[in-house]
Amino acid sequence: MTPKQYADALERLGLSQRGAGKFLGVDERTVRKWVAGDARVPGSVGKLLRLMVRLKLNPQDCQ
Q: Please provide the DSSP assignment of the chain as one string.
A: --HHHHHHHHHHHT--HHHHHHHHTS-HHHHHHHHHTSSPPPHHHHHHHHHHHHHT--GGGG-
Please, which pLDDT band fits residue 9 given cuts at 50, 70 and 90? very high
In this structure, the chain runs to a length of 63
Percentage of residues of the chain with pLDDT beyond 70: 98
Please, which pLDDT band fits residue 60 given cuts at 50, 70 and 90? confident
- Give the integer Cα–Cα distance in Å for 47 and 28: 20
- Give residue 11's Cα distance to chain centre: 9
Please, which pLDDT band fits residue 63 given cuts at 50, 70 and 90? low
Parse the chain into domains and list their residue ranges: 3-62
CATH topology of domain 3-62: 434 Repressor (Amino-terminal Domain) (1.10.260)
C-beta of residue 48 within 8 angstroms of C-beta of residue 25: no
